[in-house]
Amino acid sequence: RVLYKKNALDSDRMQQLNSIDINWHLCYHSWNEKFNQLCAFKTQNGHSNVSQHDAQNKSLGIWVSNQRVLYKKNTLNSDRIQRMNSIG
């Protein structure tokens, strides 16, 4: 991934890695994964107020809290704000 980001990965190696479906943008993948968990939580519970103290959803609650902090600091990117707003 480092060589990919530096645009220093040769095309044969990139093709090999693409053939095994490597995820070049891991941080986007993990954000999307948590977002999907939040959508499932909301579907199941009717709200998106995930508690950090709920043992079953602790990591999701921490993630949601972190998203709120980023939003308040105006550092959450506009695409993510739009996605979060789309679920209510």
pTM of the prediction? 0.68
Confidence (pLDDT) at 69: 95
Six-digit token string for 56: 């079953």
Report the percentage of the chain scoring pLDDT > 90: 59
Mean pLDDT for the stretch of residues 59-77:
94
